Each structure stands twice: as structure tokens, then as C-alpha cells.
């Protein structure tokens, strides 16, 4: 008789911090105490609060333990699982910025992190064992597939998706139902369903977490799509750097075949559908749908001119639907609950929910799913827990290298496709990098452009050459050698690249530069005119200075300096016994070792 379930996060984040070892040790302790038949261990997908891993939740109480270590396991077994007493010191303590008082929560659902979330795509992540098809079925899994095959026509399925207002969650936000309808209308003896799981944005891990935590949701949705458009074959293109996701997806495909949910005559009908995994080598350009299809075909991943669009001529020259993992993760729930249910969430033109990967200068790093239309302030301050260390929020980069930044004064704008586009940003796949006052926006634009230059396939000249020239101008500015004319030249080049590049990678590559120029032009001016980096990030424009009245003369900075540029002076500050130090700026290499080693905040950047 099972009386307790212990759910342990088995996502990549918690796995990397030792959750597998915790599971094994917990199993040993349970057996040692003779309660291994009473307590069941379940390895789940991501709970969302990645910064707190390893995470463990004990049911039926729902007690949420965070940052659990191996030495904590005996106490959890003895106190909680044997005696029924919660181990208070391990329960997640939620605080807001600059607050000392802690409010203890026994349940994850009670936290501010979860209260404003609405989980649709992530409904099973952190809830079920993703390697057990029976647990997925127990959560109404494959009920939607049975419904469409036995009670709905393909046109009715497409209409339901159209009426729901679901838009593609992979970047541009194209209406999913329209893409399916175009592909169904194409006449061909063979059609394909393709899932884009080649998640390449820096800081993005939404699709990976969905594959790791709920792979059957993808399989069911792709089969539904296959029925709707008249396809019997699907491919999932996933980067090889996601070993846990690949393993669980393949296991799920094998289980679905064994249960007759993939293959011939599914649910006793004349509909047949099967699918395969194709591994990508990590090329960011293969996130573009035509480049992805070219790669599946065994060729170098390069985009194709459009038209013809994939709905007419896609994979292997046949009509093809391509959606990303998150888009597919919504399909079964729309079929089961109805288009009106899904459309009731979100805004007029952006229906449903959106999954974001919160990263950067944020307390609650992790995965969140929120209704469209929630404000950035709610995401950052309430769900994310705010910017740590008392720092001020400066901007949030959405859409990765293809997106733009939302500045602090626009924190109350509702987050949806149209509002972000109007700001010069984009939703993208859902990465959200939070920046504080210590971030240089010029350096941030340079970081994303460096990524794009490296990832350009080189097929078209505007992207191959234009982004390189743009990066050279940014380099020049961050080195303190830029001019006001360079800023004008950058804007002109950005607009040229956007207008003339072949695919989405090149067309959106200038977005981080254009967005930072729009909202943070004063920082560019400071780099060019004042030869200063206001955030103190660009090394060539930074000077390190020792405040001799704060310096106690310990000499640690001099010991840490790799080029011996810190020397002792004759000055002894009031109240101190030892002579202070100074930095010979002409020899300083701007490494920052002196600042990192000073415990008295006597060294500053100017």
C-alpha cells in the first residue's frame, strides 16, 4: 500500500545538481527503514524553479523541499516519511527583495512563483513520470487523439485549432490553424508533420523541458496534426545536446507504438501515423523551418527561398507542417477542452498562455507559463521574485538574438505578440534574459550579434557580410574608438540587413542593436563622445580607482594583480594603521581581480 509519493525533479537542471544521486540514496534509506513498499519515488520533469534544485516534493502533503543535499536524505526519511514531521529547514523560504522576514510555504502552489501562472503546455511537467505512458494516460493522455479519430473530421479539427486563436510559439507567431489548413489544401500523395525542437537561443530551455517532462504530449499532438492534414509520417528535429530529452522522447515513441497509439490503424480506424527523431548538430540556423527540413534531408542546413512555402513544398519536396514543441503541447488540451476555453485566456490577438525561460539577473531563475497579456512587471517582480542584491531592473531581452529589449519604463506593457513587435522586440521562442544596472546595453547587443555572426550559414551576402561589418562597428564603439557617424552607419546597415537577408536569422539579426539604439542611445553616446561605459563593463573604457580613505592597506589587491600595477603609497588614512595603495592606470589590464578581492569596497570603476 503506497501512502506517500516523493517526486524528484529529473530535468536537466536538477540532474546536473545531483538529483539522480538523491533518488538512489533515498531508495537505499527507504529500504533500510523498511518502508520502501509504502513510499514511491517518482522522477518527474522540470517543476520550474530551476534556481532551487535539486527539488523534492512529498505528497499527499505537497511539502516542497529545495536545494536538497545527500546528507539531508536520512533526516527527510526519519522525520517526514517515518514520523510525519516536516523538515522545516529544507522547506522553500520565499522572500522579496531587501526583506529579512521569511514566509514559509509548505506547498509549491502557495508560492508567488506559481500563483499567477496558468499551466497548459506545462500541465504535466513536474507532475508525472515522463518515462511511464500509463501516467500520461491517467492524466487524459491520448483522449484527444481518440476523440479526433472517432468523432471529428479533419476539417473540424483544423477549425477547432483556428477558432482557438493558437499562434506558433516558435518565433513569428503565425496562426497554427491557418498553417494546417494551407497544408491540408495542398494535393500530394505524401505529406509530413515536423516538430522543431532545435532550440538554440542563448538562455532558452522551454522546449527541452517540455520534451523531458511530457514527451507523450508531443507525440499525441503530431498524430492529431497528421490526421488533420492527411499525413502518416512525422519527424522531430532535436539538437543532440539534449540527451535526456532525446532518450525520453525515443522511449515515449516506443511505448506509443507498443500501445498501438503510433503505427497502423490507430484506435481501430484506417488512420496510420508514425514518427522518427532526427538529431541536429546545434546549428542555430536550423531553427528556421526550411533550413531544418534541408538538414533532415541529410544536407547542410541552409534556408531556401520562399515561396514556395513548406505548406506547398517542404520536406522532401512535399507539403509539410512545421511547429515547435510548445505549439504542439497545446493541441491536445484545445481538442479536449474546446477552442472557446483556450481563447478565453490571453488577449484579443494573442490567445492562450506562453512559456518563458527566465534567466539572468532574476531571483527565481526557471520556467514559467503565464497567460498572454500579463505585464512584464508581474513576471519580473512577482513571479520572478525581482532583481537580486538590491539592484535596479534595467531591461529584459526577449526573443534571444532575434529579439529586442524591453526597458524599465515599459514594464507595465502587456506581454503579447503585437505589443512586443510594436516595441521593436519579438516573442521568439520564449527566452527572457533579465538585466540590471550593471549591464551595458551596448555590450549586450554585441554579445547577441557575436552569436548571430557565428551561427550564420553564409548563404546570403547581407547576413554573411552585413552582420560581420555591424559587429566590427560595435567592437569599435566598445573599444572607445567609435564616432557619431558610426552610430548612423550602424542604423543604416541594420535596416539593409533586415530588408535583404534570405531567412529569419538574418532578417532579425539586427534587432538587438536597433532596440538598444532606440531605448538606450544615451549609452552609445557615452561610449562614443565621453569614452565611458556607464555600466563599467567595456574594459577599454573603464578605469579602476582605489579610494585611499577606505583602503586599510592590507595589500590583497596588490597580491591579486597579475601585472603588478598596484603599489603602496605614503598615505595613511585616518583611523588606519597601514599605508594605502593606488593603481598605476597606464599599466592596468582591466582584469578586475582587485575589485573581486577587496572586502572593503575600496576599489571602484570609473
Q: What is the CATH number of the domain that holds 507?
A: 1.20.1440.230
Task: Calculate what percentage of the chain has a pLDDT beyond 70.
Answer: 98
What is residue 95's predicted lDDT score, i.e. its pLDDT? Answer: 59
- Mean pLDDT for 269-281 is 96
What CA–CA distance (Å, rounded) separates 20 from 26? 10
pLDDT exceeds 90 at position 521: yes
What CA–CA distance (Å, rounded) separates 461 from 465? 5
The answer to whether residue 126 sits within a structural domain is: no
Q: Could you say which of 388, 403, 436 is where a domain stops?
A: 436
Buried b (16+ CB within 10 A) or exposed e, 541-552: bbebebebeebb
The answer to whether residue 191 sits within a structural domain is: yes
Q: 508 and 446 share a domain? A: yes
Q: Could you say which of 279, 311, 342 is where a domain stops?
A: 342
Neighbouring residues of 455: CB distance < 8 A, sequence distance ≥ 6: 200, 283, 284, 285, 401, 505
Beta strands at 581-583 and 566-568: parallel, antiparallel or unpaired:
antiparallel
Q: 369 and 492 share a domain? A: no
Beta strands at 353-360 and 431-436: parallel, antiparallel or unpaired:
parallel
Q: Could you say which of 77, 110, 143 is where a domain stops?
A: 110
Q: Is the bond preceding residue 20 a cis peptide, omega within 30 degrees?
A: no
What CA–CA distance (Å, rounded) separates 74 from 64? 17
What is residue 145's predicted lDDT score, i.e. its pLDDT? Answer: 98
pLDDT exceeds 80 at position 171: no
Q: 163 and 309 share a domain? A: yes
- Of 52-56, 242-246, 532-536, 587-591, where does the model show the most confidence? 242-246
pLDDT band for position 309 (cuts 50, 70, 90): very high
DSSP of 219-243, one letter per residue? HHHHHHHHHHHT--EEEEEEETT-H
CB-CB contact of 52 with 66 (8 Å): yes
52: β partners: none
Q: How far is CA 180 from the centre of its chain?
A: 26
CB-CB contact of 545 with 606 (8 Å): yes
What is residue 595's predicted lDDT score, i.e. its pLDDT? Answer: 85
Which residue reads 513510499 in cell numbers?
A: 39
- Mean pLDDT for 349-355 is 95
The answer to whether residue 220 sits within a structural domain is: yes
What is residue 104's predicted lDDT score, i.e. its pLDDT? Answer: 55
Region class of 390: left (phi > 0), else alpha (psi between -120 and 50), else beta: left
Q: Total structural domains in the chain?
A: 5
The answer to whether residue 124 sits within a structural domain is: no
What CA–CA distance (Å, rounded) separates 41 from 6? 5
Region class of 565: left (phi > 0), else alpha (psi between -120 and 50), else beta: alpha
Q: 287 and 431 share a domain? A: no
For residue 587, the domain's CATH number is 3.30.70.20
What is residue 431's predicted lDDT score, i.e. its pLDDT? Answer: 87
pLDDT exceeds 60 at position 414: yes
Helix (H, G, I), strand (E, B) or coil at 328: helix
Which pLDDT tens digit goes with each residue over 240-256? 999 999 999 999 999 99
Cell numbers describing residue 229: 492534414
CB-CB contact of 52 with 67 (8 Å): yes
Helix (H, G, I), strand (E, B) or coil at 309: coil
Question: Nearest-CA neighbor of 522 among 509, 510, 511, 535?
Answer: 535
CB-CB contact of 41 with 6 (8 Å): yes
Which residue reads 525520453 in cell numbers?
A: 248
Question: Nearest-CA neighbor of 43 among 9, 16, 66?
Answer: 9
For residue 143, the domain's CATH number is 3.40.50.11540
Residue 569 CB coordination number (10 Å):
13
The answer to whether residue 64 sits within a structural domain is: yes
What CA–CA distance (Å, rounded) separates 44 from 130? 6
Weakest-pLDDT range from 92-96, 181-185, 554-558, 566-570: 92-96
Residue 104 CB coordination number (10 Å):
11
**What pTM was computed for the model?**
0.92
CB-CB contact of 593 with 560 (8 Å): yes
CB-CB contact of 470 with 508 (8 Å): no
What CA–CA distance (Å, rounded) separates 283 from 153? 38
274: β partners: 233
Q: 362 and 376 share a domain? A: yes
What CA–CA distance (Å, rounded) separates 126 from 1? 23
Q: 77 and 161 share a domain? A: no
Helix ranges, 369-440 (H): 376-377, 417-422
Q: 175 and 90 share a domain? A: no
**Which helix (H) or strand (E) element contains residue 192?**
strand 192-197
CB-CB contact of 301 with 295 (8 Å): yes
What CA–CA distance (Å, rounded) separates 88 from 290? 53
What CA–CA distance (Å, rounded) separates 451 from 447? 7
Which residue reads 549586450 in cell numbers?
A: 444
The answer to whether residue 156 sits within a structural domain is: yes
What separation in angstroms does the CA of 374 have from each of 16, 357, 421? 32, 15, 16
Sheet holding 56-59, edge to edge: 39-44, 4-9, 56-59, 63-65
- Mean pLDDT for 359-379 is 94
CB-CB contact of 546 with 582 (8 Å): yes
Helix (H, G, I), strand (E, B) or coil at 215: helix
As a whole number, the mean pLDDT across the chain is: 92
What is residue 105's predicted lDDT score, i.e. its pLDDT? Answer: 58
Q: 335 and 387 share a domain? A: no
For residue 39, the domain's CATH number is 3.40.30.10
What is residue 51's predicted lDDT score, i.e. its pLDDT? Answer: 86
Q: 325 and 189 share a domain? A: yes
Q: How far is CA 393 from the centre of its chain?
A: 19
The answer to whether residue 125 sits within a structural domain is: no
Q: 293 and 397 share a domain? A: no
Q: 476 and 358 share a domain? A: no
Q: How far is CA 471 from the centre of its chain?
A: 25
CB-CB contact of 327 with 169 (8 Å): yes
Helix (H, G, I), strand (E, B) or coil at 20: helix
pLDDT band for position 577 (cuts 50, 70, 90): confident
What is residue 101's predicted lDDT score, i.e. its pLDDT? Answer: 46
Q: How many Å from the N-terminal Cα to the C-terminal Cα in the chain?
A: 67
Residue 438 CB coordination number (10 Å):
14
For residue 379, the domain's CATH number is 3.10.20.600
- Torsional sign, CA 228, 237, 353, 451: negative
Which pLDDT tens digit goes with each residue over 76-122? 999 999 999 999 999 887 654 444 445 555 577 778 889 899 999 99
pLDDT exceeds 70 at position 570: yes
Structural domain that includes position 197: 133-342
Q: Enumerate long-range contacts of 253-258, CB under 8 Å, 24 or more apart.
A: 253/219, 253/277, 255/133, 255/216, 256/133, 256/216, 256/219
Q: 503 and 601 share a domain? A: no
Helix ranges, 76-132 (H): 112-115
DSSP of 464-516, one letter per residue? HTHHHHHHHHHHHHHTT---HHHHHHHHHHHHHHHHH-SSHHHHHTTHHHHHH
Which pLDDT tens digit goes with each residue over 21-57? 999 999 999 999 999 999 999 999 999 988 888 999 9
Which pLDDT tens digit goes with each residue over 440-489? 999 999 999 999 999 999 999 999 999 999 999 999 999 999 999 999 99
- Mean pLDDT for 292-299 is 95
The answer to whether residue 240 sits within a structural domain is: yes
Amino acid at each position: 500500500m503506497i501512502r506517500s509519493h516523493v517526486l524528484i525533479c529529473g530535468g536537466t537542471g536538477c540532474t546536473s545538481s545531483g538529483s539522480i544521486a538523491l533518488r538512489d540514496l533515498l531508495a537505499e534509506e527507504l529500504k533500510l527503514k523498511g518502508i520502501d513498499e509504502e513510499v514511491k519515488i517518482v522522477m518527474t520533469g522540470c517543476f520550474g524553479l530551476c534556481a532551487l534544485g535539486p527539488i523534492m516534493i512529498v505528497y499527499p502533503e505537497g511539502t516542497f523541499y529545495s536545494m536538497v543535499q545527500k546528507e539531508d536524505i536520512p533526516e527527510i526519511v526519519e522525520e517526514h516519511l517515518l514520523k510525519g514531521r516536516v523538515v522545516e529547514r529544507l522547506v522553500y523560504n520565499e522572500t522579496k527583495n531587501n526583506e529579512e522576514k521569511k514566509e514559509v510555504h509548505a506547498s509549491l502552489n502557495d508560492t508567488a512563483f506559481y500563483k499567477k501562472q496558468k499551466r497548459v503546455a506545462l500541465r504535466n511537467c513536474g507532475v508525472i513520470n515522463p518515462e511511464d505512458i500509463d501516467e500520461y494516460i491517467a492524466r487524459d493522455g491520448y483522449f484527444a487523439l481518440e476523440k479526433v479519430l472517432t468523432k471529428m473530421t479533419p476539417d473540424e479539427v483544423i477549425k477547432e485549432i483556428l477558432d482557438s486563436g493558437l499562434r506558433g510559439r516558435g518565433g513569428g507567431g503565425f496562426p497554427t490553424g491557418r498553417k494546417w489548413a494551407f497544408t491540408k489544401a495542398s494535393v500530394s500523395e505524401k505529406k509530413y508533420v515536423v516538430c522543431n525542437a532545435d532550440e538554440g537561443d542563448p538562455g532558452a530551455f522551454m522546449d527541452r523541458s517540455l520534451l523531458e517532462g511530457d514527451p507523450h504530449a508531443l507525440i499525441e499532438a503530431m498524430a492529431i496534426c497528421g490526421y488533420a492534414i492527411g499525413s502518416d509520417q512525422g519527424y522531430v528535429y532535436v539538437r543532440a545536446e539534449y540527451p535526456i530529452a532525446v532518450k525520453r522522447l525515443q522511449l515515449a515513441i516506443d511505448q506509443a507504438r507498443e500501445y498501438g497509439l503510433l503505427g497502423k490503424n490507430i484506435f481501430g480506424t484506417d488512420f496510420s501515423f508514425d514518427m522518427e527523431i532526427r538529431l541536429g548538430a546545434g546549428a542555430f540556423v536550423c531553427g528556421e523551418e526550411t533550413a531544418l527540413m534541408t538538414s533532415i534531408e541529410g544536407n547542410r542546413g541552409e534556408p531556401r527561398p520562399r515561396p514556395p512555402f513548406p505548406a506547398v513544398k517542404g520536406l522532401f519536396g512535399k507539403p509539410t507542417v512545421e511547429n515547435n514543441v510548445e505549439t504542439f503541447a497545446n493541441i491536445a488540451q484545445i481538442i479536449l477542452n474546446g477552442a472557446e476555453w483556450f481563447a478565453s485566456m490571453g488577449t484579443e490577438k494573442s490567445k492562450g498562455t506562453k512559456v518563458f525561460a527566465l534567466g539572468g539577473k532574476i531571483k527565481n531563475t526557471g520556467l514559467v507559463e503565464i497567460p498572454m497579456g500579463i505585464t512584464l512587471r508581474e513576471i519580473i517582480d512577482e513571479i520572478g521574485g525581482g532583481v537580486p542584491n538590491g539592484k535596479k531592473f534595467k531591461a529584459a531581452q526577449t526573443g534571444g538574438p532575434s529579439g529586442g529589449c524591453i526597458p524599465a519604463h515599459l514594464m507595465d506593457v502587456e506581454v503579447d505578440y503585437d505589443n512586443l513587435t510594436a516595441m521593436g522586440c519579438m516573442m521568439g521562442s520564449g527566452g527572457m534574459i533579465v538585466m540590471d544596472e550593471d549591464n551595458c546595453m551596448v555590450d549586450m547587443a554585441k554579445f547577441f550579434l557575436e552569436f548571430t555572426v557565428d551561427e550564420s550559414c553564409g548563404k546570403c551576402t547581407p547576413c554573411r557580410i552585413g552582420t560581420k561589418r555591424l559587429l566590427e562597428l560595435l567592437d569599435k564603439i566598445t573599444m572607445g574608438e567609435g564616432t557619431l557617424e558610426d552610430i548612423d552607419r550602424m542604423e543604416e546597415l541594420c535596416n539593409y540587413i533586415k530588408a535583404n537577408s534570405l531567412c529569419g536569422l538574418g532578417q532579425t539579426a539586427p534587432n538587438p542593436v536597433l532596440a538598444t539604439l532606440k531605448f538606450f542611445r544615451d549609452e552609445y553616446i557615452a561610449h562614443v563622445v565621453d569614452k565611458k561605459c556607464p555600466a563599467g563593463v567595456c574594459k577599454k573604457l573603464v578605469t579602476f580607482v582605489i579610494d585611499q580613505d577606505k583602503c586599510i592597506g592590507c595589500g590583497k589587491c596588490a597580491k591579486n594583480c597579475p601585472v603588478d600595477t598596484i603599489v603602496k603609497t605614503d598615505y595613511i588614512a585616518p583611523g588606519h594603521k597601514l599605508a594605502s595603495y593606488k593603481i598605476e592606470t597606464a599599466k592596468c589590464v582591466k582584469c578586475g581581480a582587485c575589485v573581486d578581492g577587496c572586502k572593503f569596497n575600496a576599489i571602484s570603476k570609473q
